[in-house]
Amino acid sequence: MKNLTRAEEEIMHHIWALERCTVANIIEQLKSPKPPHSSISSIVRILEKKGFVGHKAYGRTYEYFPVISKATYSKGNVTSLIKEYFNGSPKQLVSFLVANDETSVDELQHLIKELKKKS
């Protein structure tokens, strides 16, 4: 899966949230100052070239929709993070989160319950 820039990822989050949208719909969701329509349109076209977004044309208006789900993209990013920074070990990632006070005992117990359900 191709990587997204920060700007592409931000726009992609809006597309996932909206599910089906025009460039104008995306711009409505952005904080002020609003970027130009042409800038967002360019990013959406890049997302389409990368295979993240599809479109349906209604005359001159394009309605965009996600082709790759947020869950699929998230899984790819987490897998890459674990490989690149934690030697491919989810255990090292969890240890890092615990050591840096990024997770609680309750959250870890919840994860243990989820793991037990799967086995």
- 15 belongs to a structural domain: yes
Q: How many domains does the chain have?
A: 2
For residues 104 and 52, membership in a common domain is answered with no
Q: Is the pLDDT of residue 1 over 80?
A: no
88 — alpha (psi -120 to 50), left (phi > 0) or beta? left
**Does pTM surpass 0.75?**
yes
Span 81-92, mean pLDDT?
A: 95
Cis amide bond preceding 90, omega within 30: no
Q: What's CA 117's distance to the chain center, in Å? A: 27
Span 100-111, mean pLDDT?
A: 91
CB 70 within 8 A of CB 10: no
Cβ of 66: how many Cβ atoms within 10 Å? 20
CB 14 within 8 A of CB 26: yes
Q: Which residues constitute the domain of residue 78?
A: 70-118
- pLDDT for the residue 2: 84
